[in-house]
Amino acid sequence: MMRGKRVVLGVMTASLLGQACGTSSDVPAGAAGAPGGASGGTVAGSSSGASAAAGSSSSSGTSGAGAGGQSLGGSTSAQGGTAPGGSTSASGAGAGNSGTSAGGTAGGGGYGTNDDGPCAVPSFITSDAKPLGWASAGPGTTGGGSAKPVLVTTLAQFKDAVKDDTPKVIYVQGDFAPDDIDFGSNKTIIGCSSGARLQGHLAIGNDSANLIFRNLKISGYGAGDCSKDPGFDSGVGCSSGADAISVNGNAHHVWFDHCTIMDGTDGNLDITNEADFVTVSWTKFSYTPRTDAVGDDSTGAAGHRFSNLVGGSDSAPKGWPGTRPLNVTWHHNWWADGVVERQPRVRYGRNHLFNNYYSSTASNSCVRAGIEASLLLEANYFEGVTRPHEFNNDGKESSDAATAYITVGSGAKANEYVSTTGTKSTGGQGEAFTPSYAYALESASAVPAAVKAGAGTH
């Protein structure tokens, strides 16, 4: 059904703070403004309201806090007057200088190291300890909180450490064999600077919540050949295999920061079903060259090198539109060598993309808005890529522009396009949104140097 543009301000209200994540967090239109007011940074968080930040329809699966950690269900947020990343926000004061954003230090690959834990880690682990964006909604994403750090050096140790809901801070050292790894809740997982690689499929599913992944190299089963995946079906093709990471079911409050994610058989990092409140920052996505030559879902030379899917089908999430999951913030990420599509491709979610770098010459599509998606693209840098942003079925009668909306920044918030080809679609008949959280924005021209130096593991 065609309809006129409706502007929705995605506002986190005071009633959202302190609410258990196991309940719906939607608030009726016209609710109070964002906590802490508007940002004093380059871009302001919304300060007056319509609907609340997307509702998580998930049921609680977290345990009570232990060892100084924090449990999600029923915990109260300390965010009230604090902008994400620790910048004090009072009556409109917010995030800090435009060169630095929470959840990762802008503009630098020359990070120092911190030796206070079980192994040396990059300095941003302590200096930028909180995410910004959707993962900061409600009680925020705190992982294992203040639990005593432990070091794991084998796959068996790692799988045992992450499977439950007890709050833990886990440092990882070593190159682990490919495997399927299931995650519980309330974990902070940090890769040592000496190297930490997980391989196979990381599954974050029903009742998983409050998870932080930082400074980790994560490789899927499908490096160069999808048939390496134990789940590969030659009658289907690469899409029959596993993602390197899947966030699905009713999983919520997850932060990926400074990771290198590559070679998922299906996708690199897919966020589907009713998953919600996710931030992906300073992360590099790539693929080793491969083809997808067999099966009824074959993509041929493209090799199904489709990196990031938000919303797995055109079927509405449970509770839609009363609850609105699939809300993701992507900032300072790098879609690099070998990525062909889905950077990301979004259905239903409100996704905010800022200060990202796109450089894959293999691309045939970068950002794509599908059914009921609302995308905000600010100060991103697209270089040498095809179709920087578009609607699904763009230009056709069946175009998802009928229900989706793409907003792009202007002036200091404008995206930059260098040697690109194809569509840069904007507008649509769906809903635009304004982020509720404070964030600082670099100019697009500064993005390539900052992201190439800073994104990925260190």
Q: Which helix (H) or strand (E) holds 453?
A: helix 447-454
C-alpha torsion sign, points 114, 120, 122, 128: negative
pLDDT tens column, 362-404: 999 999 999 999 999 999 999 999 999 999 999 888 899 999 9
Q: Which helix (H) or strand (E) holds 159?
A: helix 155-162
What is the residue type of 227? S
Q: What was the pLDDT predicted at 37?
A: 31
Can you tell me the mean pLDDT for 272-281? 98
pTM, entire model: 0.80
pLDDT at 14 over 70: no
Q: What was the pLDDT predicted at 109?
A: 56
Q: What was the pLDDT predicted at 53?
A: 37
Q: What was the pLDDT predicted at 111?
A: 86
pLDDT tens column, 50-71: 333 333 333 333 333 333 333 3
What residues contact residue 134 under an 8 Å CB cut-off, 6+ apart?
53, 54, 276, 277, 278, 279, 327, 328, 329, 352, 437
> Can you give the residue ranges of every domain in the chain?
6-454
What is the residue type of 446? A
Q: Which overall architecture, per CATH, does domain 6-454 show?
A: 3 Solenoid (2.160)
Can you tell me the mean pLDDT for 75-104? 34
Q: What is the rounded distance in angstroms from the CA atom of residue 171 to the CA atom of residue 193?
A: 10
pLDDT at 93 over 70: no
Q: What was the pLDDT predicted at 395?
A: 85
pLDDT tens column, 158-190: 999 999 999 999 999 999 999 999 999 999 999
Q: What was the pLDDT predicted at 397?
A: 87
Write a three-state SS string for 362-427: CCCCCEEECCCCEEEEECCEEECCECCEEECCCCCCCCHHHCCEEEECCHHHCCEEECCECCECCE
pLDDT at 31 over 80: no
Can you tell me the mean pLDDT for 277-291? 98
Q: Which of 83-92, 131-140, 297-306 has the lowest mean pLDDT?
A: 83-92
Q: What was the pLDDT predicted at 438?
A: 96
In 3D space, the residue among 183, 114, 187 whose CA is nearest the CA of residue 149 turns out to be 187
Q: How confident is the model at residue 75 (pLDDT cuts 50, 70, 90)?
A: very low
* Average model confidence (pLDDT) across the chain: 82
Q: How confident is the model at residue 99 (pLDDT cuts 50, 70, 90)?
A: very low
Q: What was the pLDDT predicted at 20?
A: 33
pLDDT at 10 over 60: no
More confident residue, 48 or 328: 328
Check: CB of residue 248 under 8 Å from CB of residue 267: no
Q: What was the pLDDT predicted at 266?
A: 98
Q: What is the rounded distance in angstroms from the CA atom of residue 165 to the CA atom of residue 443?
A: 40
